[in-house]
Structure 1
């Protein structure tokens, strides 16, 4: 197996030491069209970044190379078979290739293993040399092993190679699973974190794909010579302009800057000449004498050069002598070299080239950083983008702030309570409530402190001992604590024992905890986290709900908004729409009669009251309103004349004095 090598673009520049070469095998570019490509880097979607710089890859490929395009995850959601050969392998048409890339819309999953396998088959990898370039921002999501596939393709192919560009990846597992594809097949793996690194990665891979030994020319023609014009000296890390004459015949020739005396064919930072006669580069980070060279792509030899001296930059950086942990503070600098240079804060003694929290200098002279969470001696550093060289330093001591947080000694589960604090450090710091003994750095319900000194939290749903914590945004460090006990409230809920399907249900409660708590009706045995028809309790003590249409046993519940915990329950039976409801009395009357007819109504009642009445009302009429009422002052039966209008009506036995409904019986008027 050919030995693979990997390039990891974790610094701010990439150096490639082999000269660009000439030819290419059949190539299939496999492009990630999965939904994760909508993720953003520095405010720009990864798909947009990839579209903008994909030309770096095609610029490195020979126009005569057979190049195809395959995409996956770009048409359907959740479909592991969503793989398409967008362009079959054919002589490269850069315009068509870029147009097809622009049409890809991220949509679905990441079946990259099957995509690489299909690409290999399309290229007839068993019969001829084949190269796959995989561009992906994520790992396999369709339960396939890309590493095992790569090993199999390497064993069975004539000369199979896979280059992989991982874009915007997170954990090490992502890097390993993608890097294995290149490692198994002798290709390159390059991880790119932002647009600049992706562009460099695609250029590097394109150069690697195009690389092969040119056929020896029996009698090479004399090489053309070029005159380069550039400044005699440039500042380290700064961009500088230059020109060449005449214009080159090959747009893939390039201009590079290398240390004086470097071996012919060596190159570092470079640009392709395209059809221009001028360009710009960034000066190396190290001072000294350098050569600016015009290099022929076809032979890798120097066709013109001019000396350039890289001189030291005069840069300063300054900030306050001290800053409080987690606090924002201003930093100023002079002598900025390049807009992509950056200022960082690191512990005193940190190795040069390392950085922590930082900002780009842009075209400004002032910006702000946030002090680390741990107190101690630190250093502000101005660092070149080119080579991550430290150009200026300033010491700063980070000190511990005096922060307090306080709240009530107790709070009821689900209730809102006030929290106050002093010594706020940063508006993005936050106050949280967690169970006593929770590991530092963890948090639950929280609010940002902003520019206030007081806010409110909602107590957790479970009673017990808890802790209020003031936490720095920087490093999630706990700066202050206060204990609080969360106690169980006494909540009750009540309602009727029986209702008809679809009827109004009056729910009443006591001990309400939070206005966002709610009462709900659910089938008996429903999990506590589920709810049906519900009403927020607000600042009331009762609410009207609608009984379910299906008959059966139900439960009226009072539920905390915090944690969806059930605090009180009441059993409720839902009867059919035509069922008679009786709670202390029984009515005897026909189920139906003709309009205008006179019927007899009898009754029995468990007790007496000062005002008991039998009423006739429409079925949907409020309980204590009626069409006709008969006060009971003698034995049953009584006679009632029905309305002339057909419809659904109801006979009711009311205890008016006690405001109770003792019995209800439906009757249909035909």
Structure 2
């Protein structure tokens, strides 16, 4: 027989074809005869292997034999199939296969490094140790701790390698010999180890021999093995893993535990975090505390009564009052004992037999109880037989139970627990109660805050008051008119004006009546028929009304046809309605209620209105403050002002320059010197023009291109500009000539001016001009006809001027010099 399929399978297995590349050479002189499919095996090896290849040589097969079962092994795995019929062909076939095998044999992988692993050598079971290694062989490698002799493929807790080459392990609790292993990421190759002996964890527990149920007590331990270990108290003999109250050891040597609620024998246990193993115990007895309660035999329903106690177990225990026989764990009103031995406890609202209980916070167990009878208090409440709707009327009471109880008024027969207007009794015996808005039969009730239980009642009839209100027959829209009334019910009631037929509870302009009998009321802006109403504050109910007609006022407004942008416009008006009305200027066609610049009319009949900054068609409006309604208007055209601003074209940094302007619009306008191209809101260097037409400025310290700007105060709009170049502080103002003259001189005096010039021409002159004057204009000029110096008479007006050497023939400024006349 020829079991070639089994042979190939066995060879592949021994070569570990699933873990690494494997090559098999099959030489067969026969076909598969053991009823297996070699082609199917070849496909399986190709799919499941890591680079599996089979080369096949068929030797001495008959011409009539089907060799498909041999050739498919090579074809399915990427190998070579060769037939040989004699020794020579077999030799040639073997040579070809050897070459193919050599070509596919992979380069051996580089050897993995040996890793040095360093641990502490010994460690207590369950403790944390630090492990280091060097070098790191590959990303994905990891470390583990296993018993000595454990197979390479097995591991316990693992820690992945990191850049620090340091990890922390919580070691097993069982004592014995272990290995710290560095394992390659294939999970099988151990690249380094270090021996570790784990010793038995031994802990000593300390604590009291006896504690009271529910009491907090201190337990100690030494040493702490792991920060997440814990100390617990459990019944003696409880199964391992049981825990109730516990404290985590962290980095401490002692902690606070709460004793159980049930008395008996218990034990303290130190439990390891690693496997919840108990490594130390200590017996402790939990005993029942002796608690006493001191309470009165009776207390009034809803009152606070005194309670005293002794034998406090825990400050978080509490005292509660419950009906006699209430189940354990139920509670009513309660107080926490804290560090006290007595306090006030709130009685229930219902009468009957109750228990006051001292309850252990731990387990809500009752440690002591005392009976108390809750009795009905004797309370009376008194009020008048009648009161007017909305008024305040006196009530009094006796037998107050709690300062938080209240006295309320409700319709007769109202359900228990419902309430209307009310007052809290506090420490008083009487007070003022607000009557409802609706007349009828009512009850005044004394209501216990605890449970909202009614303890006393008295009837009261609420009657309709007699109120009148009187207003004039007519009033102008928006004006204030006088209203009077009689029969005031409450000082918080109010007088209201609304359109005739307005729903109850709606209101417009109003005044509060207080202790007055007449007041001024603001009329609405809209004309028509209205009602003046006396309205009860309580419930917003109308008690009296009077009719009034609101008529349109006759108002006129006068102004000029035109005004300059930003200027003050003189406006006059007649027919003032309210001193709070105002005059406004808005673009023609603006919606009602819109306004621009404005002023209040007060008690005047004319005033100045600031014109807008943008030219165009506008309206001046008289606007009613009430409702912002326009009563009169007048058209006006706002025109563009003709403004100029002048100054020198050049100035040295830090020097003084004279600035002048024409066509000033408003004294509040200003002149600014700003960098060329900066925003129009650049006011880093500016002054207000006031009533002047010129003023000195100091040039900026930074050279560059600037511009003088005349800026309208209204809207900050620039109306005129003049470029100025600021030169370096030491820049030469000479170009082909130089002037010599005094820096200062008196007004009207004569000075001598000298010069030097590099070249002459037909017409050269020395001039004196204002600092901002155009170059080829002057106040006085002397034509040069001989040698220096020449005489010049200075202006009579003080100021800053400029001497200039002009080449008129060539239209050049050859030299300049500033002179101050003072």
Q: Which of the five TM-score ranges fits, normalised by the shorter chain?
A: 0.5 to 0.7
Question: Using a 3 Å threshold, how does the CA distance of structure 1 residues 653 and 517 change in structure 2: closer, same or farther?
Answer: closer
After TM superposition, the structure 1 = structure 2 runs for residues 376-415 of structure 1, keeping only pairs within 5 Å, are 376-415=528-567
Q: Alignment partner of 2:709: what SS?
A: strand
Question: Using a 3 Å threshold, how does the CA distance of structure 1 residues 429 and 637 change in structure 2: closer, same or farther?
Answer: closer
1:522 partnered with 2:674: yes
Structure 1 residue aligned with 2:376, among 223, 234, 240?
223
Structure 2 residue aligned with 1:587, among 738, 750, 754?
738
Q: Hey, what does 2:439 align to over in structure 1?
A: 287
Q: Is the 8 A contact 2:566 2:714 kept in 1?
A: yes
Q: Hey, what does 1:192 align to over in structure 2?
A: none
1:237 partnered with 2:390: yes
* TM-score, scaled relative to structure 2: 0.47
Q: Is the 8 A contact 1:431 1:469 kept in 2?
A: yes
Name structure 2 gaps, 5 residues minimum: 1-347, 355-373, 741-753, 769-777, 791-799
Question: Using a 3 Å threshold, how does the CA distance of structure 1 residues 226 and 508 change in structure 2: closer, same or farther?
Answer: same
Question: Using a 3 Å threshold, how does the CA distance of structure 1 residues 268 and 361 change in structure 2: closer, same or farther?
Answer: same
Q: Hey, what does 2:709 align to over in structure 1?
A: 557
Q: Is the 8 A contact 1:462 1:486 kept in 2?
A: yes
Question: Using a 3 Å threshold, how does the CA distance of structure 1 residues 406 and 609 change in structure 2: closer, same or farther?
Answer: farther
Q: Is the 8 A contact 1:603 1:637 kept in 2?
A: no
Q: Alignment partner of 1:265: what SS?
A: coil
CA displacement at 1:244 relative to structure 2: 0.6
Question: Using a 3 Å threshold, how does the CA distance of structure 1 residues 484 and 476 change in structure 2: closer, same or farther?
Answer: same
Aligned residues: 415
Cα deviation code 1:521-548 (max 9, x no counterpart): 0110111233232222222221111111
Q: Hey, what does 2:664 align to over in structure 1?
A: 512
Q: Is the 8 A contact 1:651 1:664 kept in 2?
A: no
After TM superposition, the structure 1 = structure 2 runs for residues 178-217 of structure 1, keeping only pairs within 5 Å, are none
Q: Is the 8 A contact 1:580 1:665 kept in 2?
A: no
1:499 partnered with 2:647: no
Distance in 2, matches of 1:306 and 1:612, equals 111
Q: Is the 8 A contact 1:494 1:570 kept in 2?
A: yes
Distance in 2, matches of 1:429 and 1:277, equals 53
Distance in 1, matches of 2:622 and 2:576, equals 9
Q: Hey, what does 2:140 align to over in structure 1?
A: none
Distance in 2, matches of 1:374 and 1:588, equals 79
Structure 1 residue aligned with 2:477, among 325, 340, 344?
325
Q: Hey, what does 2:121 align to over in structure 1?
A: none
Q: Is the 8 A contact 1:345 1:380 kept in 2?
A: yes
Q: Alignment partner of 1:305: what SS?
A: strand
CA displacement at 1:637 relative to structure 2: 9.6
Q: Hey, what does 1:571 align to over in structure 2?
A: 723
Question: Using a 3 Å threshold, how does the CA distance of structure 1 residues 322 and 588 change in structure 2: closer, same or farther?
Answer: closer
Distance in 2, matches of 1:215 and 1:318, equals 53
Cα deviation code 1:506-564 (max 9, x no counterpart): 11111111111111101101112332322222222211111111111001001111111
Structure 1 residue aligned with 2:601, among 446, 449, 469?
449
Distance in 1, matches of 2:767 and 2:528, equals 84
Name structure 1 gaps, 5 residues minimum: 1-213, 590-599, 614-623, 625-629, 639-649
Question: Using a 3 Å threshold, how does the CA distance of structure 1 residues 244 and 216 change in structure 2: closer, same or farther?
Answer: closer
Structure 2 residue aligned with 1:304, among 435, 438, 456?
456
Comparing 470-479 and 538-547, the one that deviates more: 538-547
Distance in 1, matches of 2:802 and 2:757, equals 11
Q: Hey, what does 1:422 align to over in structure 2?
A: 574
Higher relative contact order (CA 8 A, sep 6+): 1
CA displacement at 1:655 relative to structure 2: 7.2
Q: Hey, what does 1:603 align to over in structure 2?
A: 757
Q: Alignment partner of 2:627: what SS?
A: coil
Q: Is the 8 A contact 2:764 2:783 kept in 1?
A: no
Task: Write 1 or 2 for the structure with the bigger share of strand.
Answer: 2
Q: Is the 8 A contact 2:765 2:784 kept in 1?
A: no
Distance in 1, matches of 2:713 and 2:695, equals 17
Q: Is the 8 A contact 1:333 1:366 kept in 2?
A: yes
Distance in 2, matches of 1:374 and 1:297, equals 52
Rg bigger for which structure? 2
Distance in 2, matches of 1:606 and 1:371, equals 86
